[in-house]
Amino acid sequence: MAVRTIRVYPDPILKQVAELIEEIDAGVVEVIQDLVDTMVDAGHSVGVAAPQIGISRRVVVVDVSQSKLGRDNNHGLLEMVNPEIIEKSGNKTMREGCMSVPDYTGNVDRAERIVVEFVDRTGRLRFVEASGFEAVAIQHEIDHLDGLLFLDRVSSLKTDLFRRKSK
């Protein structure tokens, strides 16, 4: 479909709660495909949420299979409509980055294991148990649907936020 431009903080759409999707129609499938195309085109991304491409709807895609952190523990490409975490356990602190906050990374505490419920592009209800880096990536993307950035979860902006090294 199309590679879309990533919205960058402080774009106001990134702080909005995204709308629930009532039905999977051609428009929703197009958004899913645009998210996949945008994530793949970025080359380094493991997930993208619809608000990041300017669409305030509850859709995310996640695929950590090409990342060294997620290569050995993943479910491949997850296309999630109306995702909701229904179970979580453990705690993991990881350094996170975000295409919508390109100049910084930060240490964020997240659940180490989650169960997420969502509808896929065919309208089928699914449940996925994820752990490690994949669980972190899913939580990060779902945060975008709730108007949260990783910056909102950094414990201390003084000690846990880092400027990215320029290439």
Pairwise CA distance, residues 15 & 46, whole Å: 21
Measured distance CA(45)–CA(133) in Å, rounded:
13
Q: What angle do CA 78, 148, 57 make, to 5 degrees?
A: 55
Which residues are known to be catalytic?
141
C-alpha closest to that of 63 among 88, 32, 93, 84: 32
CA pair distance 110, 12, nearest whole angstrom = 24
Neighbours of 144 (CB within 10 A): 24
Beta 78-89 vs 59-62: how paired, if at all? antiparallel
Q: Which DSSP helix (H) or strand (E) runs through 21?
A: none
Q: Which residues pair with 96 in a beta bridge?
A: 106
